[in-house]
Amino acid sequence: MSDRSIGEIRRSSAGVAAYVNVFLRGGRRRIRRINCERSLRVAATVMAFAFQLVGVPLHAQQPAASVKPDAGMSTENPFSTFNKNAYQMVMMIMVSSAEKMPEENYSFKPTDSVRSFGQIVGHVADAQYLFCSIALGDKNPAPNIEKTKSTKADLIAALKDSFVYCGKAYDGMTDASATQVVKLFGRDTPALGVLTVNNLHTMEHYGNIVTYLRMKNIVPPTSEPGFMPSPKP
């Protein structure tokens, strides 16, 4: 084979390889974009619904209870009220998810390197005590639920208790107290930011839970018909 032929083959191979690489990168970008869009849609739905949630004290409300639309957003404390309403929504979908999964699937994990469904529930509960104790100025109770609870009943009860504990932090916050600076992982953070991170952390793991539920042919709460109420006229 001539040097010219070899050169043409090399150039051709390089061109094909480059095209395939670009195609694959584009595919990966499209997949990441689709996954991102799905996550954003869920988060946007939760945030939009937060505007409509009733502003009742969280520690007085039963977790996963029916949540009714509010007349509107508080004008006195709009930021802390919005965060609290989002928290109510997060509470409802997390407890509902835990209740939907059958007991026998609480030990399910897609691969050995990740948490089981039950461990995710326990981890979310533990994290709530961590974040909300900071916002409250309390010592973290650190119940270590993920390591000490394994049954569905125990984990759901612990999850509900963690929401009741956190409810005190969301109920007690105003837009004025929201600016109080506290330490979060060694960094100065406004108290409102800590409770926002708590919401985000729970939603992050709700994303895991959605996958686990779907793998067991269970419809996640946010995909149920009528989850998002119709806009008010």
pLDDT number for residue 82: 95
Summarised one tens digit per residue, pLDDT across range 170-188 is 999 999 999 999 999 999 9
Q: Which residue has the higher pLDDT, 23 or 164?
A: 164
CA 173/CA 180 separation, integer angstroms: 10
Both structure tokens of 203: 């939603």
- CB-based contact 146:155 (threshold 8 Å): no
Of the pLDDT bands very low, low, confident and very high (cuts 50, 70, 90), residue 51 is: very low
pTM: 0.71
**Maximum pairwise Cα distance, the chain:** 84
- Distances, alpha carbon 97 to alpha carbons 36, 64, 92, 233, in Å: 21, 10, 9, 31
pLDDT number for residue 226: 83
CA 206/CA 220 separation, integer angstroms: 9
Smallest CA-to-CA distance from 114 within 212, 216, 213 is with: 212
CA 173/CA 191 separation, integer angstroms: 8
CA 77/CA 167 separation, integer angstroms: 16
- CB-based contact 146:123 (threshold 8 Å): yes
Using alpha carbons only, give the angle 11, 6, 16 rounded to the nearest 5 degrees. 30
- CB-based contact 117:101 (threshold 8 Å): yes
As a CATH number, domain 51-223 is: 1.20.120.450
- CB-based contact 166:204 (threshold 8 Å): no
- Count of positions (residues) in the chain: 233
What does the DSSP 8-state code read for residue 67?
Answer: -
pLDDT number for residue 76: 87
The full set of domain ranges for the chain reads 51-223
Summarised one tens digit per residue, pLDDT across range 95-116 is 999 999 999 999 999 999 999 9
Q: Which residue has the higher pLDDT, 106 or 55?
A: 106
pLDDT number for residue 43: 52
pLDDT number for residue 4: 43
Measured in degrees and rounded to the nearest 5, phi and psi for residue 81 equal -65, -45
